[in-house]
Amino acid sequence: MLAKYIARRFLASVVVVLGVTAITLALMKTTSGSYVPGIDLNPALRPDDIARLRADLGLDRPGWQWYATWIWGVLHGDFGHSMIDGSTVMSHIGDRLPNTIELTATAIVIGVLIAIPVGIIGALRHGTKTDHTMTVVSVAGFAVPQFWMGLILILVFSVTLEQHGLPWLPSSGAYSAVNGGDLIDRIEHLILPATVLSFFYISTWSRFIRSSMLEVLSQDYIRTARAKGMSERRVVYLHGLRNALIPLITLIGLELPGLVSGGLVVEVVFGWPGIGKLAFERALQYDYTTVMGVTFFATLLVIAGNLLADVLYGVLDPRIRYGS
């Protein structure tokens, strides 16, 4: 049953990938801009140069023709070359992916480790000052834009601390420009962006766990467990938490594509050389091939993340069955 279910989902995903990439191209084509080689308004660049360079890249042809050529390449495992720098799209993704995974995975782990206890505490002590404080902090986590929080952290923990002669944290990049790249150096660079990104995860997930926990703890079987004289710890963790975590699986499953694209804003603010920043910059420069490659890749991950969450649901919750 499960195999059949996965097979059907896979077929549906082909349609989704085609749709998403076609819409991406259509959107880029309709925004009344185009790839221009001399992006700096270079006076030495002549009109015929611009026309020739565009034609070399197939941009003089209608969008659907370009798309057909692109799909044909993808079916043969060729995502093409970036229009901006001529290197292959796969090499770009390969260069940036480890950085993005490093950042997002760290943020997700921190997020889970903090959100679960915070959510439990909020549920167990709901209505108290502790709960209200956590609610305020969580709402701030949704409400404060990530770019703003990033800038403030840079100002305080990088610029201000440095000017006071105190230990400070680097404000951009994944490692130091000179002699960088060892473990300590990478962790130092990771702290600020991972803090901003995980703050968002903590805010979201802790609220979910809190409400989910509250719901579970009001169930009859919890009352029964307590009535049996079971220790509070067993009631909360064994009977309560396990059931309360099920919705979280969906949320984290949905964050899987975030592993490649989730930290876009954070990556841009902190100059983190990841996939999100790549996609953002290349979209603004109309680097069609790179944007299409990243979109394709991100779409696959969204589908895989959803599928994984659905399958895990079945494993964790015996009430769920995969049928037609």
Contacting another protein within 239-278 (CB under 8 A): 268-271, 273-274, 277-278
Q: How far is CA 264 from the centre of its chain?
A: 7
Contacts with another protein in 67-126 (CB under 8 A)?
A: 81, 84-88, 92, 95-96, 121, 124-125
SS3 content of the chain, % helix, strand, coil (to 5): 75, 0, 25
Q: Name the minimum Å distance from CB 41 to another protein.
A: 6
Q: Name the minimum Å distance from CB 290 to another protein.
A: 11
CB 174 within 8 A of CB 272: yes
CB 139 within 8 A of CB 255: no
Contacts with another protein in 191-250 (CB under 8 A)?
A: 231-234
Nearer residue to another protein within complex by CB, 36 or 71: 36
| Of 43, 77, 318, 323, the one binding another protein by CB under 8 A | 43
Looking at residue 239, its amino acid is H
Nearer residue to another protein within complex by CB, 105 or 159: 159
- Region of 152 on the Ramachandran plot (φ > 0 left; ψ -120 to 50 alpha; else beta): alpha
Count residues near another protein (CB under 8 A). 75
Contacts with another protein in 278-297 (CB under 8 A)?
A: 278, 281, 284-286
Q: Name the minimum Å distance from CB 222 to another protein.
A: 16
CB neighbourhood size of 298 (10 A): 21
Q: Name the minimum Å distance from CB 142 to another protein.
A: 21
Nearer residue to another protein within complex by CB, 164 or 319: 164
Q: Which stretch binds another protein (CB under 8 A): 108-116, 160-168, 196-204, 240-248?
A: 160-168
Q: Which residues contact 123 (CB under 8 A, 6 or more apart)?
A: 209, 210, 211, 213, 214, 217, 244
Looking at residue 296, its amino acid is F
Residue 134, CA atoms < 13 Å, CB-side half-sphere: 27
Q: Name the minimum Å distance from CB 169 to another protein.
A: 10
Q: Is 151 in the site for another protein (CB under 8 A)?
A: yes
